[in-house]
Every structure is written in C-alpha cells, then in structure tokens.
Chain A
C-alpha cells in the first residue's frame, strides 16, 4: 500500500520480472498514439458535421447527417471493427489488418475507434447549437442585424462549446488508454489488448495496476476539462 502511494504499481505475476509501471510505460504510448489520431479525426469530422446539421436544420442534409450519426453511435464497436477488418483487409486486400507497421495500418483502427465518438460529437454539437440558437440573446443578435453565419460561429459555437467539451473529456480518456476490442481485433500492441491478455491469464497485479492508471488518467482529463471551462466561460473562475 505504501508502495502504491509512492507510485509503484507492483510486478506482473505472469511475465516474471516485469513491473506494472514498466508495462504501462511500454504499452500506453502505443495506445495513446492511435487514440490521439482517432480523437483528432473524430473532432474534425464530428464537430463540422454537427455545425452543418444545425445550420441546415430541417433540410435533407440535416436528416442524412442525423440518421448516420445515430446509426454509428448505436453500432457496437466490435461489430464495426470486424466488418472493417473483413471488408478492407480480408476481402479487398486494400489495407493492412494487423500491427502498426506503416501509415496505412493506422487507417482501419482509427476508423473503428472514431466512428462512435465522431457520431456522438455530431449529435452533441447539433443539439447544443440548436439550443443556443433558440435562446433570447440569439434573437437580440438578429435584431442587431448580425448575419446567421456570424451568429453561428462567433456566438453560438462558443456557447455550445461547454456541452461539447463535457462530452469530449471522457471520450478522449476512453480512446487514449486503448480500446480493448479494437486493439485486440487489429493486433495492436497497446495497453488495451495487453489488458485483455492479463484478464484471461488472471495477472491480478497488472489488472489492478492498469485499472488504477485508467482511473487516474480519467481524473486528470476531467481536470483539464474544468480548466477549459474556465477559458470558455468567464462566469467560471478558477482562481477563486
């Protein structure tokens, strides 16, 4: 217990001699790298699509985006991973299916990892923007003669950023520490696939150690989210 408080998470009982700290130091960067690409990709796709759907609300474009996003956010992750693996890897032989040897090998895992978060971000962005656009101050902005696009990008988006960041925090934490299913399906040597192995081998110190690491990491991300709140909203002051 005192070792834990000093940051020592113990040693593996299966891979003898390996400390849990060493394992995390080896495996986490791999997961984090794929995860970081995936979360950036999710934001780049999800947020603009959400803005588009809100801007064109009620039109065909809005309906297509809304339907696709609810489809992808309800699709189980392992199903998408397996379908992608079969379609592009085994059937079309277009993309590598395992490991992370070339840049092409990132495509499928990143796609599998991003689909869910991207569609969640699309829905949150759309809903948050529509909520802001229905508020009184939007009407006053219109009464001041501000154009729709100006209102959307200068005012609505910043107001919508709070719910977006709130969702983004846990999503990022979840992706960065490594997705158990996606890493296993695509044989990525990250923390997620390693943990699956440890669970099947009952390597308790590693399971416990990585779980503690996960939790600490999520707490850290939530702290970052709180700091970002302070940057977006002047009503939230961090120094008081």
Chain B
C-alpha cells in the first residue's frame, strides 16, 4: 500500500490497536450481530433498530438501501457510536477486527473513529467548520491519528487533496470551506475521512446533496480510491441505480430490520423480498425506455412507535398472508450470500433452510471470524 501506514496508528495507541486482529481478504472485517437501538422518549422507550446483523468483508463495497426512515443511518451511526443523545444501543455486538465496539470505552472509541474507522455524511455544505481552513481541519485529523506533525503532516494532507482530484491542492489547504463549491467540499471531506488510511469507510448518502454530474464524479472517486487503497466501504443510498453500479453486496433495510441481503446479482436478478421488488419497480433506468412504468410502493414507512405485529412490510405488501400479520418472519438462507426475511420463502417451499437469528454472542473477541 503506497499510502499511510497502520504502524503509525499503532504507535499512538498501542494497546488498543495491537488488539485489532488482522483480517484476511474476503473475511469479515466488521460483524454486527443483533444490533438494537432504542429511543428514550418521555412517553416511553421504543426500538428503532430491531436486532440487525450483517458482515462487512475486507475490500468490498457493501450497499445499504431502503426508503427514507428505515434505519440506514441509525444502524451505521450505532456502529460509529455517534447516535444522537436520546438514542442508545441497547443490545448486540459490533465486532470490528475482533474488538467489540459496543463495549469499547469512549476514549478508545475516539482513537478508532477517524483513524481505522471513518464516516462521511450526507451534506458537504455543513460538515466542515466554517471558521477554519481546509488545511487546518485536515491537519488536526492527521495529527490526532498518525504520529505526524508539521511539514510531514502537511505533505500527507496535500497528497490526499491531490488524490481526491482537487486542483492546486497547496492553495486549497489555505482556503476556507466557503470558498469551495459543494462538490469540492465533499472531496475535501472524503480526503479527511481517508487521510488516516481507515480499514472501513462508511458513506452515508454522500452524493444526495450534490447535482447529478458531480454525483457521478464523487461515486467514481469513492470506487477508485477503494480499489487503490483496498479498504472496505459501506455505502448508504436510497438510489438502487447507484447501488447496482458501485457495490459488491447489498443489504436491503425496512422498518429497522434487514429484509434481504445478497450479492448485487442476487438482489437485482434473483429478487426475492416483495419490498426489494417494490424498490426496483420504482427505479428509473438510464438505458433507454423501460417496458413497465415506474410504480411507487403504496403506503408509507411504518412509524417506529406503531410497528405492525408481524412482518413490518405487511400493510403494504401485495403478497401478504395470514401468518405475515401474526409473526415476524425469520431469515431464510437462499444459498450463497443470499438471504431473505419473508414468509413467502417458506410458503414457496424454498430449498433454503431456516437461518437462526444468532443469540447475543458472548465475548466475540475470542471467536474465530465466520462468514
């Protein structure tokens, strides 16, 4: 790897970083199990994320799709331990390179954030402090995580600004955020997120606030950098088209649960869950006119305080059966990476076996990674 090095991070916080396991390519870097997020409200607590579990493997781009409000951002904020103050992770484990982030002390978590684990948010216009130069906001990150200061740190910063495709990186260092356009700012933010060479980069709809031509450029940038640096990326989007072009595997979320997961081909060509079918039916294509008209999914995302008893999608599902309204469907293994949480899989007599929802695992640190 040409850029940065994990050794410098290790010098900063030896104890923690030494305990991070090396993960072979294709093996899970992040294993989330039974993640539950609860909202503390005056009228009583309620869950918004219900026992979500997924893996992120090394060197892959994992897409997370779903309509607005289905819990994509909250799931990833919980992984980063950046939930709003009235929300709390109340269950599950977040095993990252063998360390359970859910139980890590806040001080150690700060070492992880921005260093080995990075996140980019939706709106580039507001993500930078307006009062400090681009350079100073990059340098504070580099000085925090890499043991580099002064000229050495500046060289890293300029280098990353060049890598994200900003012209005149030296000049950008001394500019303020208000002097840059939205697309340039998002590049700066990606440069900041990548400059400490993280193993995992989480992008929460980083292109939604940009116009279409800039969106395409930023997507290319994310993919190019991921290929160069070989890190893993979680890419949140509500745009199926973006997911199809960018990702290796996809998880589809609905009502604070994962309803279908699989490779891009599984999701797009062997679509199983009625919700995924619905999402695809309202996805516009660029390749000429499509045969069927765009069909929006009728109804609305359920309010987390009034979750239906059984399947969360039941009120909107065209295939809803009696069992759907009574019991939450389990996840059915469809072979390979493909799995679907829908009673149809049982009704159709799918060859797939019933996947057990793993119980809250004990000390995940000791466990050998399993796919």
* Cβ B176 vs Cβ A234 within 8 A: yes
Interface residue from A140, A142, A154, A234 paired with B189 (Cβ < 8 Å):
A140
Task: Given A145-B114, A145-B144, A158-B131, answer yes or no on A137-B126 (Cβ-Cβ < 8 Å).
Answer: yes
* Cβ B145 vs Cβ A145 within 8 A: yes
* Cβ B119 vs Cβ A146 within 8 A: no
Chain B nearest CB: distance from A20 CB in Å?
Answer: 44
Q: What 1/0 flags go to A144-160 for Cβ under 8 Å of B? A: 11110000001100110
* Cβ B113 vs Cβ A144 within 8 A: yes
* Cβ A155 vs Cβ B114 within 8 A: no
Chain B nearest CB: distance from A141 CB in Å?
Answer: 7
A232 to B130, CA, bound (A): 11
* Cβ A143 vs Cβ B126 within 8 A: no
A233 to B129, CA, bound (A): 11
How many chain A residues have a CB neighbour from B under 8 Å? 20
Q: Which residues of chain A from 191 to 240 have any CB-CB distance to chain B below 8 Å in the complex?
A: 232-235
**What A residues does B140 contact at CB under 8 A?**
144, 146, 154
* Cβ B121 vs Cβ A145 within 8 A: no
* Cβ B113 vs Cβ A143 within 8 A: yes
A143 to B110, CA, bound (A): 8
* Cβ A145 vs Cβ B112 within 8 A: yes
Interface residues on B, range: 20 to 34
Task: Report how many A-B pairs have Cβ atoms within 8 Å.
Answer: 69
Say yes or no: is B80 at the interface (Cβ < 8 Å to chain A): yes
Task: Given A137-B128, A139-B82, A155-B132, answer yes or no on A146-B110 (Cβ-Cβ < 8 Å).
Answer: yes
Task: Given A145-B113, A145-B144, answer yes or no on A137-B176 (Cβ-Cβ < 8 Å).
Answer: no
Say yes or no: is B178 at the interface (Cβ < 8 Å to chain A): yes
* Cβ B129 vs Cβ A136 within 8 A: no
Q: What 1/0 flags go to B122-164 for Cβ under 8 Å of A? A: 0100111111100000001100110000000000000000000
Say yes or no: is A16 at the interface (Cβ < 8 Å to chain B): no
* Cβ B115 vs Cβ A140 within 8 A: no
Say yes or no: is A2 at the interface (Cβ < 8 Å to chain B): no
Chain B residues engaging chain A, CB cutoff 8 angstroms:
80, 82, 110-115, 118-119, 121, 123, 126-132, 140-141, 144-145, 176, 178, 189, 192-193
Q: Supply 7 further A-B pairs (C-beta < 8 A) apart from A139-B127, A235-B178.
A: A140-B127, A142-B113, A143-B82, A144-B193, A145-B114, A159-B129, A233-B130
Chain A residues engaging chain B, CB cutoff 8 angstroms:
135-137, 139-147, 154-155, 158-159, 232-235
